[in-house]
Amino acid sequence: MDPRIQPIFDEVLRRNAGEVEFHQAVLEVFESLGRVIAKHPQYAEVSILERICEPERQIIFRVPWVDDAGRVQINRGFRVEFNSALGPYKGGLRFHPSVYLGTIKFLGFEQLFKNALTGMPIGGGKGGSDFDPKGKSTGEVMRFCQSFMTELYRHIGEYTDVPAGDIGVGGREIGYLFGQYKRITNRYESAVLTGKGVGWGGSLVRTEATGYGTAFFADEMLKTRSESFEGKRVLVSGSGNVAIYAIEKVHQLGGVVVACSDSSGVVYDDSGVDLELLRQIKEVERGRLADYAERRGSSSDYRAGGNIWSISAATRIDVALPCATQNELDETDARVLADNGVLAVAEGANMPSTPEAVRVFSEASVLFGPGKAVNAGGVATSALEMQQNASRDSWSFDNTEQRLVEIMRGIHERCATTAEEYGEPGNYVLGANIAGFTRVADAMLAFGVV
Ligand code: GLU
């Protein structure tokens, strides 16, 4: 790390003790910024780096709710409003038992650069709760969402902060959250949340956008080596919203996704994952991946507790799309993939590769797309949803998907040209970090010390 940046990082460690994922996200960005600070000393003069690491506002609140047995349950709610230099805070809500302040801060920090990279007028924020939706009844999920919004509503608004979904928060939860917001405020303020149902202010393609965008970005990466998805064998970790639509688009682009996973195990399906069956199990029944292999029969194989990346040691894998969660792909996994000839890795999830894994890919000249660029299609389509809400309009699927394609090409282009400008062609990590950072930093410079 640049010696001018090291003391700023040390201070981040001291001020945010124990928040290891946040440290990791900051480190990754800071490692890219040495040359930027050298070229633009004005950023250092007004402490842009120090300011960018300190969220503008952090809200932590109690979420009491009553379970089906009549017992009172308590969860913790978070909204970290990281940076509003480019627009209202924008980012999803994550409901998962592992969530603590450090998770939300890492996600909010990533989000602010991701949103800047899209070129759209959105700041960065993130929220969530340690609530575990797994095994909860629909009534319990609804009561939790209503209680969560009973506090959150006073902090959000279409010009202030616009939450959406993330892990554990999909269309159902956004519906309950929007219903409660509307009831409390007596306002039909469509653009206060994105990821809404298409019948009540949602945008076509928003559901598919993160996964589709991931495949589009990976396709752009492949093109730089005169390759495409045609005939490629692909691993997609996860089996949630991002994974499902990444698989769908890879199949449409001519690739074959031979495996996916959930937190309990891995499904290997040599003839290609059966998307209809996967969607039935995960989206309709909210079931487990183990059921997939049981219903699919002999062509597929389920390994409880298996590691999806190790599949590349046994069969040819060309592309890997980690679409599950943070730090799911470590140095050993990266070595297995690289040693067995993987061509490209594109992160559909937020920070799924550890820093050591990223180093392995870079040393092996594997095309590597970081999450803040690759998965930005989700939030970009949220911004399109806000545009439609503002104009009280709704666009066709094809028109919206075309906008998404152009946005992903734009992000790829921005990363590639910035990496080249800073002397490291093909380094998407550097390109994404610098392009995202400079857009935010320039706006902060313009605003003075606020
Ligand atoms: N949670 C998604 C992300 O990580 C989407 C956020 C949004 O649409 O606001 O980017």
Q: How far apart are CA 109 and CA 114, in angstroms?
A: 9
Q: Which domains does the chain have, with CATH numbers?
A: 1-54 (no CATH), 55-189 (3.40.50.10860), 209-374 (3.40.50.720)
- Determine whether the shortest distance from the Cβ of 350 to ligand 1 is under 6 A: yes
Distance (Å) from CA 166 to ligand 1 centroid: 6
CB-based burial label for 24 (10 Å; 0-12, 13-18, 19+): middle
Q: How far apart are CA 92 and CA 110, in angstroms?
A: 12
Q: pLDDT confidence of 68, banded at 50, 70, 90?
A: very high
* Contact between residue 445 and residue 46 where contact means Cβ atoms under 8 Å apart: yes
Q: Mean per-residue pLDDT for 397-405?
A: 98
Rounded to two decimals, what is the model's pTM? 0.97
Distance (Å) from CA 110 to ligand 1 centroid: 10
- Determine whether the shortest distance from the Cβ of 93 to ligand 1 is under 6 A: no
Instruction: Write out pLDDT tens, residues 82-99.
Output: 999 999 999 999 999 999
Q: Which residues contact 341 (CB under 8 A, 6 or more apart)?
A: 316, 317, 318
370 three-class SS: coil
Q: Mean per-residue pLDDT for 409-425?
A: 97
User: Please, how many CA atoms are within 13 Å of residue 378, restricted to the half-sphere of its CB?
Assistant: 32
- Determine whether the shortest distance from the Cβ of 293 to ligand 1 is under 6 A: no
pLDDT at res. 262? 95
Q: pLDDT confidence of 297, banded at 50, 70, 90?
A: confident
Nearest protein Cα to ligand 1, atom 9: 91
Distance (Å) from CA 162 to ligand 1 centroid: 10
Atom of ligand 1 minimally distant from the CA of 90: 9
pLDDT at res. 5? 96
Residue 40 in this model has a pLDDT that exceeds 80: yes
Distance (Å) from CA 213 to ligand 1 centroid: 12
Residue 67 in this model has a pLDDT that exceeds 80: yes
pLDDT at res. 251? 98
Residue 419 in this model has a pLDDT that exceeds 90: yes
Q: How far apart are CA 2 and CA 37, in angstroms?
A: 9
Nearest protein Cα to ligand 1, atom 10: 379
pLDDT at res. 298? 74
User: How high does pLDDT run on average in the chain?
Assistant: 97
pLDDT at res. 428? 98
Distance (Å) from CA 247 to ligand 1 centroid: 19
- Determine whether the shortest distance from the Cβ of 115 to ligand 1 is under 6 A: no
Residue 35 in this model has a pLDDT that exceeds 80: yes
**Choice from 21, 103, 110, 111 to test ligand 1 binding pocket (greatest atom count within 8 A of CB):** 111
Instruction: Write out pLDDT tens, residues 113-151.
Output: 999 999 999 999 999 999 999 999 999 999 999 999 999
- Concatenating the DSSP letter of every residue in 315-354 gives S---EEEE-S-TT-B-HHHHHHHHHTT--EEE-SSSS-B-
Nearest protein Cα to ligand 1, atom 8: 379
424 three-class SS: coil
Q: Mean per-residue pLDDT for 343-365?
A: 98
Give the type of residue at 280: Q
- Determine whether the shortest distance from the Cβ of 194 to ligand 1 is under 6 A: yes
Q: Mean per-residue pLDDT for 423-436?
A: 97
Give the type of residue at 419: A
124 three-class SS: strand
pLDDT at res. 445? 96
- Concatenating the DSSP letter of every residue in 7-76 gives HHHHHHHHHTTT-HHHHHHHHHHHTT-HHHHHH-HHHHHTTHHHHHTS-SEEEEEEEEEE-TTS-EEEEE
| Alpha helix (H) residue ranges in 84-198 | 101-117, 138-152, 171-185
**Choice from 166, 245, 374, 375 to test ligand 1 binding pocket (greatest atom count within 8 A of CB):** 166
Q: Quote the percentage of the chain above a pLDDT of 90.
A: 97
Distance (Å) from CA 114 to ligand 1 centroid: 9
Does the annotation count 126 as an active-site position? yes
Our CA dihedral for 414, 321, 90, 147, rounded to 10 degrees, sits at: 180
Atom of ligand 1 minimally distant from the CA of 382: 8
Distance (Å) from CA 93 to ligand 1 centroid: 8
Q: pLDDT confidence of 384, banded at 50, 70, 90?
A: very high
Atom of ligand 1 minimally distant from the CA of 115: 10
Q: How far apart are CA 388 and CA 51, in angstroms?
A: 33
Q: How far apart are CA 181 and CA 179, in angstroms?
A: 6
Catalytic member of 126, 249, 282, 372: 126
pLDDT at res. 245? 98
pLDDT at res. 15? 97
Q: Mean per-residue pLDDT for 42-55?
A: 96
Nearest protein Cα to ligand 1, atom 5: 379
Instruction: Write out pLDDT tens, residues 194-238.
Output: 999 999 999 999 999 999 999 999 999 999 999 999 999 999 999
The radius of gyration computed from the CA coordinates of the chain, to the nearest angstrom, equals 21
Structure tokens at 156: 């959000």
Distance (Å) from CA 376 to ligand 1 centroid: 8
Give the type of residue at 79: R
76: phi then psi, degrees, rounded to nearest 5: -110, 130
Burial track 219-250 (b if 16+ CB lie within 10 A, e otherwise): bbbbeeeebebeebbbbbbbbbbbbbbbbbbb
* Contact between residue 210 and residue 180 where contact means Cβ atoms under 8 Å apart: no
Q: How far apart are CA 102 and CA 17, in angstroms?
A: 9
Q: Mean per-residue pLDDT for 390-395?
A: 97
Atom of ligand 1 minimally distant from the CA of 381: 8
pLDDT at res. 121? 98
Residue 354 in this model has a pLDDT that exceeds 80: yes
pLDDT at res. 299? 79
Q: How far apart are CA 108 and CA 42, in angstroms?
A: 25
